[in-house]
Amino acid sequence: MKEQVIPYKIYLEESEMPKQWYNVRADMTNKPAPLLNPETLQPLTKAELSQIFCDELVEQELDDTTAYIDIPKEIHDFYKMYRPSPLVRAYCLEEKLQTPAKIYYKFEGNNTSGSHKLNSAIAQAYYAKKQGLKGVTTETGAGQWGTALSMACAYLNLDCKVFMVKNSYELKPFRREVMRTYGANVTASPSETTKVGRDMLERFPGTGGSLGCAISEAVEVATQTEGYRYVLGSVLNQVMLHQSIIGLEAKAAADKYGIKFDTVIGCAGGGSNLGGLIAPFMGEKLRGEADYDIVAVEPASCPSFTRGKFAYDFCDTGMICPLAKMYTLGSSFMPSSHHAGGLRFHGMSPTLSQLYDDGFMRAKSYVQSEIFEAAVEFAKVEGILPAPESSHAIKAAIDEALRCRETGEEKNILFGLTGTGYFDLMGYEQYNNGTITDYVPTDEELQKGFDRLPKVNR
């Protein structure tokens, strides 16, 4: 049989776009552990969760058994504005690396927010609107999630209050301005507008803030304002569910050309893009239908998987959010200010944590200078300026392809290119100036975070 020529870009037809999300938990034997009430340490009930999150999202959060969930028509229509996203064969990178491996990437940066986060933002905003709410609150670190949510809320005419980590608020004025252009109300965190924020400012005057603190502020406002709920851009089961569109599209595109991936690689912050990218492949692996080498890549400065503990922990520094059982560095862990802002969360998705603990995937970490080097190498041959977060996956894919060059293996490698780096040029500037620093926490530093993990006997 003549081998089919694989194009540079494989696009699905609109009509071929997945009409359902896939919930990997349905195929897991060991289900992720339930979220706990931080006061009683008992599993959170639907009623308790509904005070924080929209009703339908609570259903999705707690659903461990339904494998396929319909994508509502309104969300599907919104997806059509910027999806299907291309599956790209990285011919130029392969040529540069002189590897027999075949490298593919799924590019999620083709929308104004510049990342995959819009896939879940529109879903969460839609369910809030459907419930008749006035608005939603959230936090944002580097700004991608806040931007995506602002876009989704603007489309649905929903109020959007974003608490942006003060460091980023000051360092990334352009991100902030995109959010405001889409009508969001953006507040630097910690702020005087919440109790958590005021306490924080009193204890640490002049602090640049943290993601954990911004989460606490957003939750406080949501739970104390009539008609508002809180939404989160990663970590939660519901977010992974929405992001499964990435993996489902990638698989559908690959199937058109009979491509079978051997290795699937994604960067991991809270785990949502990785969870979404690997979802259908992990499903096959869990059901024993196929095998894949699944790789999570994280920064060496915030190594939740590679050096963290699998334990119940708070999702926020204010310790008002539910406890999740996950790979964590401890909610008191303060990551250094490295540039991959979206990968700075202290914990990891409970679902991915369980899958990792059960041996269904592996993890590796890289320091900052390595990932910028990979980013520049990629940008020069493939044309796209990648986000530093995405560049963790690029680096791991390049390393795997170089390993194949040594062994002669013709592996099919898929990685997630989660976004573009136009708002990360300060990081690129430091890299170009040669002033970038590689920070790796010591065991002693990590121990301090572990010592403060809550004591939970479950």
Ligand X SMILES: *Cc1c(COP(=O)(O)O)cnc(C)c1O
Pick from 191, 272, 317, 353 the residue near ligand X by CB under 6 A.
Answer: 272
317 vs 418 by CB, closer to ligand X: 418
- Residue that the structure tokens 């949501």 belong to: 222
257 vs 422 by CB, closer to ligand X: 422
Pick from 270, 283, 303, 335 the residue near ligand X by CB under 6 A.
Answer: 270
Minimal distance, residue 270 CB to ligand X, in Å: 4
Count the residues of the shown chain that bind ligand X, applying the rule CB under 6 A: 19
Q: Which stretch binds ligand X (CB under 6 A): 79-87, 129-137, 386-394, 400-408?
A: 386-394
Minimal distance, residue 225 CB to ligand X, in Å: 26
Minimal distance, residue 342 CB to ligand X, in Å: 3
Among residues 275, 278, 286, the alpha carbon closest in space to that of 237 is found at 275
Burial class (CB in 10 A: 0-12, 13-18, 19+), 399: middle
Residues 203-242 binding ligand X (CB under 6 A) are 234
| Pairing outcome for strands 68-70 and 20-22 | antiparallel
Q: Where are the alpha helices (DSSP H) in 14-143?
A: 46-52, 55-62, 73-82, 91-97, 118-130
Residues 94-153 binding ligand X (CB under 6 A) are 115, 117, 144
Minimal distance, residue 144 CB to ligand X, in Å: 3
345: its two tokens: 């969360």
Residue 183 is which amino acid? G
Minimal distance, residue 261 CB to ligand X, in Å: 19
Q: Which residues of 192-212 are buried (b: 16+ CB within 10 A; e: fewer)?
A: eebebbeebbeeeeeebbbbb
Pick from 301, 418, 449, 453 the residue near ligand X by CB under 6 A.
Answer: 418
Q: Coil, strand, or helix at residue 120? A: helix
Minimal distance, residue 234 CB to ligand X, in Å: 3
Per-residue binding string, ligand X, 5-44, x by CB under 6 A, is ----------------------------------------
Query: Is the CB of residue 141 less than 8 Å from the CB of residue 148?
Result: no
Pick from 419, 427, 441, 449 the residue near ligand X by CB under 6 A.
Answer: 419
8: its two tokens: 């540079």
353 vs 390 by CB, closer to ligand X: 390
Query: Is the CB of residue 121 less than 8 Å from the CB of residue 152?
Result: yes
242 vs 411 by CB, closer to ligand X: 242
Residues 154-193 binding ligand X (CB under 6 A) are none
Q: Which stretch binds ligand X (CB under 6 A): 28-36, 264-272, 281-289, 323-331?
A: 264-272
d(Cα 311, Cα 427) in Å, to the nearest integer? 33
DSSP label at 3?
P
Query: Is the CB of residue 228 less than 8 Å from the CB of residue 136?
Result: yes
Q: What is the phi/psi pair of residue 131, to 5°? A: -80, -5
187 vs 234 by CB, closer to ligand X: 234
Minimal distance, residue 292 CB to ligand X, in Å: 18
Minimal distance, residue 39 CB to ligand X, in Å: 27
Per-residue binding string, ligand X, 328-357, x by CB under 6 A, is --------------xx--------------
DSSP label at 347?
S
CA dist 454 → 38, 116, 314, 345 (Å): 9, 32, 8, 17
Binding stretches for ligand X (CB under 6 A) = 115, 117, 144, 234, 267-274, 342-343, 387, 389-390, 418-419
